Chains A and B, each alone.
Chain A
Amino acid sequence: MSQLKQERLLKVLLAPQISEKATYIADKNEQVVFRVVSDATKPEVKAAVESLFNVKVKSVQTTNVKGKVKRFGKITGQRKGWKKAFVCLQPGQEINFAAGE
């Protein structure tokens, strides 16, 4: 795990997932939701969040989100799927996205 390259870590996290659901979860479980690259592993996400935001991570849950099927007339299309990572922070830790901007 410690062998994970810094280069890779910088690529793992794509964006914070900001939505009503994500805020609800954050309030309830001290979790932060990220969009991550589809082949990211939980240890990678954990390491990435710890190194980028300088916080302690308790655990990571991930799920693959299927892309929606969209139709344009007769033609059906498939949006890309993505991986969502629920990062559970250790008590007292916080990530402030706005401050980093």
Chain B
Amino acid sequence: MQTNQETTNALERRIDITVAKEAVEQEVQARLKHLGRTVKMPGFRPGKVPLKMIEQSYGGQARSEAVGTALEKAFAQKVQEEKLRVAGQPRLEPKAEAEDGALAFTAVFEVYPEITLGEVSDKAIERPSLTVSDVEIDKTIDVLRKQRTNYETVERAATADDRVVIDFTGRKDGEVFEGGQASDFPFVIGAGSMLKDFEDAVDGLKAGESKTFSMTFPEDYHAANLAGQTVEFEITVKEVGAAKLPEIDAEFAKSLGVADGDVTKMRDEVKANLEREVSRRIKTRIKEQAMDALLAANPIDVPKALVTREAEQLAENARRDMESRGMQTKDLPVSADWFTEQAERRVKLGLVLAELVAAKDLYAKPEQVRALIEDFAQSYEDPKEVIEWYYSQPQRMAQAEALVIEENAVDWVLNNAKTEDKVVDFDELMGATA
């Protein structure tokens, strides 16, 4: 076996491998003999099939296997000698010109990049902070109230924010068009669920009144046959409902899951939830910044093979995600190309993180993992069971460990980079990552 290495691009390597034909031939015969002991063929007892016949039917297979293993062995040996870290699978290309009695191949593969950890000390990280005060709680409760808006039937003309129930018939050139007819159709004026012209027309009508008007659909309307067309609508208002926000009382508290309807308790609960959410979002933000800082500090090339694999995995996940939401993935070809950028970032991060962890000894310590899992388990009914569930499966433990390692890395970045505390606005924090 003979090998010699050439370097092509930054991460791609080529190795020429030659395998002696004789050795392969021997290997083939050995394999066939081994096969002959078990192979079944009509007309022969097992193990009594003549070697010649076995070679006829299994010879090619045995040969390719023998060549494959021989190459793999030669390749692995070479890789070990040169201390190369191969990323992905090598691509083997048969070479035409070979010496007599030998098979020549070229193995093309990529290696993991050498990472020297860059400085993060000059990277600035904002540490958002926010204390949940009464203002924020009131805001949240307002949102909750709006979600539970009731509508009371009133005897007055409909205005904005009222809910109206109507019958309508739309005609284009005297013909009722598809989707242009409905009865007992409720909608809220000003909520934007209907076209503005339509809402304006309903505005000011009382229950029992009807109106005929014509309107023009916008050019970019989603139904192509209606876009830009003028149609005539005939509407009858059946009911006008005024919006009524629920009072903050025991009833409201109960609807939020506070069993005894205690309003102070409800406030406390809302506050606790908010605080949890805020700290979670702050954590995500810091993490994102830390990762960005790490990436910026360590510009590296990544092996294409890894990116492709990662992208394929992401695409597969997206596909499964869509399927579980009941979408037909056949109609939506999810291409791995869409995820290339994301995949590249992930691969880079993975490599940098691995290097960082190894260099700074940020491995997950058992007690850290334990703390994390216990923290997880807190939000379940039976924490003990959840903890056991985690510890019973190495896969889940690995997940938890990965999380811990990530946290360690983030902490390390925070300790080493410039950090500055910054008070953020509640709305901005909740909106930005929502």
Contacts and interface: CB of A to CB of B under 8 A. Distances in A.
A20 B48 contact: yes
A19 B56 contact: no
B56 A20 contact: no
Interface string B45-79: 10010100100110000000000000000000000
A16 to B, nearest CB: 10
A82 to B, nearest CB: 15
B44 interface: yes
Interface in A13-39: 17-20, 22-23
A18 B43 CA distance: 6
A74 to B, nearest CB: 30
SS class of chain B's interface: helix, strand, loop or mixed? loop
A98 interface: yes
A21 B45 CA distance: 11
Interface residues of A, number: 7
Contact of B44 (A17, A19, A98): A19
Contacts of B48: 20
A42 to B, nearest CB: 24
Of the four ranges (under 10, 10 to 19, 20 to 34, 35 or more), the interface on chain B belongs to: under 10
Contacts of B50: 23
Nearest to B55: A98
A17 B43 CA distance: 9
Nearest to A27: B50
B431 interface: no
B426 to A, nearest CB: 79
A21 to B, nearest CB: 9
Contacts of A20: 43-45, 48
B192 interface: no
Interface string A58-101: 00000000000000000000000000000000000000001000
Contact of A98 (B42, B43, B56): B56
A20 B46 CA distance: 11
Contacts of B45: 20
A20 B53 CA distance: 11
Nearest to B50: A23
B48 to A, nearest CB: 6
B53 to A, nearest CB: 8
Contacts of B42: 18
A19 B44 CA distance: 6
A24 B432 CA distance: 83
B73 to A, nearest CB: 31
Nearest to A99: B56
Interface string B3-47: 000000000000000000000000000000000000000111100
Contacts of A19: 43-44
Nearest to A24: B50
A19 B50 CA distance: 10
Nearest to B48: A20
B55 to A, nearest CB: 10
A97 to B, nearest CB: 9
Interface in B240-261: none
A22 B52 CA distance: 14
A41 B42 CA distance: 28
Contacts of A18: 42-43
Contacts of A17: 43
B47 to A, nearest CB: 11
A19 B53 CA distance: 11
B40 to A, nearest CB: 13
Nearest to B57: A98
Contacts of B57: 98
A15 to B, nearest CB: 11
A54 B57 CA distance: 24
Nearest to B41: A18
A23 B57 CA distance: 16
A22 B44 CA distance: 10
Contacts of B44: 19-20
A2 B48 CA distance: 41
A17 B48 CA distance: 16
Nearest to A96: B56
B51 to A, nearest CB: 11
Interface of B: 42-45, 48, 50, 53, 56-57
Given A17-B43, A20-B43, A20-B45, 11 more contacts: A18-B42, A18-B43, A19-B43, A19-B44, A20-B44, A20-B48, A22-B43, A23-B50, A23-B53, A98-B56, A98-B57
Q: Which 8 A-B pairs have the closest CB atoms?
A: A19-B43, A98-B56, A18-B43, A23-B50, A20-B44, A20-B48, A20-B43, A20-B45
5 contacts: A17-B43, A18-B42, A18-B43, A20-B43, A20-B44
